[in-house]
Amino acid sequence: MAVRVEVAVAVVVKLPIDTLSLFSYTFFSMFDLTGKKALVTGGSRGIGRGIALALAKQGADVAVNYHRNAEEAQKVVAEILALGREAFSVQADVSDLATVSRMFAEIKSKWGKLDILVNNAGILQFKPFDQITAVDWDAMLNTNLRGQFFCAQEAARLMAQGGRIVNIASISSGGVGIASPMIAHYTASKGGVVGMTEALALELAPKGINVNAIAPGGIETDMTKGALVDEKARQGIIAAIPKGRLGRPEDIGAAAAFLASDEAEYITGVVLYVDGGWLAA
């Protein structure tokens, strides 16, 4: 791609190819994921879709995991195939270890390895603290935290040559993040993701596997549309964001592509807040 663009530009503007090599190196070689094999959990919609497309645009082949939405996952696969990359959809409920093992067995038989795991699948539920049941708690923690842990464990076994694990946390993780009412179990799960990310980064650094987290702010997806339907509430949130807008899935996709790249080789155990400045305000 870079070479084709370089030659085309050289012909049009009559510049020596050598001059343009520097140009193409600068603009086309960074964050190159060509040949990398990636799995994005919850890749069928929202942020996961944005991440799957961003990785594919940088050259990666992508396995698109979904839970129930086979049709949406297939649409993402079609978009990735149209970019000239390899892609397939793979069903698994990340809270169910048997289906997680089956998903990784499928990846192993197709690719024999994995270079990038993005632990994105997650759920959100709004409930007052005293109405959260044990069933609610288990569903939240098993999906958002246990699911990420066991996907990371399976992925690391396929990363003999090193790799990248990117866990999707949240600005709503407590600690240096924020806490909000009505989502105590969600906040606990995402706080756990932050701690787990740091712990895994230490254990996996000697194996050449970098483990980082992205903490999105308010991103417009199916997950947040209920909370954003009231225009006054929506404008209140936007007013708190220095960048003056809600986030988009592609904002998180760009951050994930960076953390997955060779250029991020010295970055591990960090949480990257992608929130339009919300936390700093």
Residues at the contact surface with ligand NAP, assessed by CB under 6 A:
41-42, 44-48, 65-69, 72, 92-95, 120-124, 143, 168, 170, 216, 218-219, 221-224
Report the residue number, 33 or 124, with the smaller CB distance to ligand NAP: 124
Report the residue number, 46 or 163, with the smaller CB distance to ligand NAP: 46
Among candidate residues 25, 66, 186, 266, the one labeled active-site is 186
Smallest distance from ligand NAP to CB 183, Å: 10
Report the residue number, 48 or 191, with the smaller CB distance to ligand NAP: 48
Is 25 considered catalytic here?
Answer: no
Question: In what order do the strands lie in the sheet containing 87-91?
Answer: 87-91, 61-66, 37-40, 116-119, 163-168, 209-216, 271-274
- CA 52 to CA 49: how far, in whole Å? 5
Report the residue number, 20 or 218, with the smaller CB distance to ligand NAP: 218
- CA 154 to CA 143: how far, in whole Å? 16
How far CA 64 is from CA of 48, 92, 147, in Å, comes to 9, 10, 16
Is residue 89 helix, strand or coil?
A: strand
Smallest distance from ligand NAP to CB 34, Å: 25
- CA 224 to CA 230: how far, in whole Å? 11
Smallest distance from ligand NAP to CB 11, Å: 43
Write b or e for each residue in 222-243: b if 16 or more Cβ atoms lie within 10 A of its Cβ, otherwise e: eebeebbeeeeebeeeeeebee
Smallest distance from ligand NAP to CB 91, Å: 8
Q: Which residue has the tokens 């991020």?
A: 264
Report the residue number, 37 or 67, with the smaller CB distance to ligand NAP: 67
How many of the other CB atoms lie within 10 Å of CB of 113?
14
Smallest distance from ligand NAP to CB 55, Å: 15
**Catalytic positions:** 186
